[in-house]
Amino acid sequence: MKAAVFHENGGPEVIAVDDMPTPSPRPGEARIRVEASSMNHLDLWMRRGLPIEIPMPHIGGSDIAGTVDAVGGGVDESWVGKRVLVDPSLNYDWYRLARLPYGHAPALEIIGEHTQGGFAEFAVAPAANLVELPEDVSPVTAAAAGLVGVTAWHGLFSRGGLRAGHRVLITGASGGVSTMAVQYAKAAGAEVFAITSSPDLVRRVRALGADHVFDRTATNWPKEVFLATGRRGVDVCLDSVGEAIWPNLLRALAVGGRLVSFGATSGANGAVDIRLLFWRQLTVMGSTMGTPDEFRDAMQLVFNGTVVPPVHEVVPLEDTRRAHELLEAGAVFGKIVVEPQGAAE
């Protein structure tokens, strides 16, 4: 089969489309003829070189949508021929079991990071991770929604405790997770504040449903958020930017507010004014991916059309290197989706 792979870490130039062995499903697994797989920043980090062991040569792509064409032992054969989306999380129960006395479970892994992914004509995944696609949902839409949707859902609701009537601030609002978060928060009845970086992006984010959108390059957004909340601040902040804006995000929180971090694109060292932390009784927490049930809940709003993942561009497998270049340049609104072509038998 054809696959977009890298044999060594480096820049986008290490991505090449090569012939790779077509995987066979092991017991408990299904093989998917991949029709769409979307780019995530995780793909950039792996290509550059994370301090973890990944299979090499490596096929990225955590979001996989397509048609099941074979199953391994112990898997119901009725899956064959079904259109599916794959939950990218493996062993998510580790987060629960690790807190129990003497608890033990395999650590969280992600398809396309710790395993081979979907930037290929075929991919394998546990059958337990399959979600059947409704007939009216395209593989492109499904693949654009998966990882970013469950990440937004878990961060907003399970970690951030967002409810109807709450005020939420979403940073990096043109990104994949944040564009989904704006829509999930609005659907939940929250008042949505968002930060982005150009007049065009302000317009696009507002079209997703955000109530207040601020161009960080042209406004004093911390002051604007403060005034727009009636000098009260926001209840929840969902942040992927990190170091460059953490002091301002903490000041933007209302009494009892919660800062939920799922990324650190501007740097990993967030400064915290401890006096502000205790005086306003703030909470700072991390969030990663989401449970299998949360994945299905988040995707249901995509399947029924309530939430629509923005797709910046759809590219063929041969343009996967360019997809890396686009995402790395920061010129993407929503998601880039890769469509493998001419799958081999």
- pLDDT tens, 117-141? 999 999 999 999 999 999 999 999 9
Least-confidence region, from 39-53, 150-164, 170-184: 39-53
Average pLDDT over residues 190-213: 96
d(CA 108, CA 332): 28
Strand partners, 234: 253
Burial of 38 (0-12, 13-18, 19+ CB in 10 A): buried
**DSSP 8-state class, residue 158:** I
Q: Which two tokens stand for residue 64?
A: 């996989």
Segment 35-58 shows an average pLDDT of 93
Taking the C-alpha atoms of residue 67 and residue 219, their distance in angstroms, rounded to an integer, is 47
Range 331-334 contact pairs with CB under 8 angstroms and sequence separation of 24 or more? 332/174, 332/175, 333/174, 333/179, 333/201, 333/204, 334/144, 334/174, 334/176, 334/179, 334/309, 334/310
User: 139: left (phi > 0), else alpha (psi -120 to 50), else beta?
Assistant: alpha
The residues, ordered by sequence, that sit 6+ positions from 336 with a Cβ below 8 Å of its Cβ are: 38, 39, 311, 312, 313, 314, 315, 323, 326, 327
Place of tokens 């969030």: 287
Domains of the chain: 2-148+290-339 (3.90.180.10), 161-286 (3.90.180.10)
DSSP assignment string, 255-279:
EEEEEEE---TT-S-----HHHHHH
Residue 135, SS3 per DSSP: coil
Summarize pLDDT for 81-121 with one digit per residue, the tens: 999 999 999 999 888 887 777 767 788 999 999 999 999 99
Q: Which of 45, 132, 151 is nearest to 88 (CA)?
A: 151
Which DSSP helix (H) or strand (E) runs through 187? helix 176-187
Q: Give the position of tokens 């686009």.
A: 326
Model confidence pTM above 0.85: yes
Which two structure tokens, joined as six digits, stand for 158?
């399970």
